[in-house]
Amino acid sequence: MSILPITVFGDNILRKKAAPITEINDELISIIRDMFVTMNNANGIGLAANQVGVNRRIFIVDVSPVEGYEKFKPMTLINPKIISKSDELEPYEEGCLSIPELKSEVIRPKGIEISFYDLDMKEHKIEVGDLVARVIQHELDHLNGVLFIDHLDEETQKKIKKHLNKIKNRKLDVAYPITDSSNYIYYK
């Protein structure tokens, strides 16, 4: 198992719509294991495949390090889809391993119903709320080339521009390995 470099703001793959998975092979299983190691090393609670240079519709979630969520098991979601969203919206301060050292409030539906496939390509439908719904919506955005900063208002976008450029130009010290070029692809 290995820690993979995380793609960061400015990396092309983060702006691409990821391709659906049609079969799970050994290589993908090994990548998913690496994704967990990579996420834990960076103290993340969610990680999408394109954040490690894999342009496929997979993400992982592990909210168990967060107080009050210790009982939640790590999840691997393949070809996830949102079936419905609650009318109730909620603000929450989000961060992203691909946008180090930036947090900002994003408003999203409080609860969602989703479908996804597991590692045996068995379909599941579940309803989730609060932090789990939050992470899943954030990660699903990743698979569509969307970053949480895209949800911020114009004024906030202006304020963070300098920071984003620092990330893009690798002028920021990041506590975990990141890619060294914007064209990084790990698995095609």
* H or E element, residue 30: helix 26-41
CB 121 → Zn ion: shortest distance, Å? 25
In this complex, which beta carbon is closest to Zn ion, that of residue 77 or of residue 96? 96
In this complex, which beta carbon is closest to Zn ion, that of residue 47 or of residue 123? 47
Distance of alpha carbon 54 from the chain centroid: 12
CB 107 → Zn ion: shortest distance, Å? 16
Note whether 12 and 42 are within 8 A (CB): no
DSSP assigned state of 9 = T
**Minimal CB distance to Zn ion: which residue?**
96
* Two structure tokens written together for 13: 């793959």
In this complex, which beta carbon is closest to Zn ion, that of residue 52 or of residue 114? 52
CA angle 73, 8, 90 (to 5 degrees): 55
CB 114 → Zn ion: shortest distance, Å? 17
Query: What sign has the CA pseudo-torsion 48, 49, 55, 56?
Result: negative
Note whether 106 and 92 are within 8 A (CB): yes
Residue 111, beta-bridge partner list: 129
Q: In the annotation, is 27 catalytic?
A: no
Cβ within 8 Å of residue 110, ≥6 positions away: 86, 88, 89, 90, 129, 130, 133
In this complex, which beta carbon is closest to Zn ion, that of residue 23 or of residue 93? 93
Q: Which of 27, 67, 90, 139 is an active site residue?
A: 139
CB 35 → Zn ion: shortest distance, Å? 13
Positions touching Zn ion (CB under 5 A) are 96
Mind telling me the catalytic residues? 139
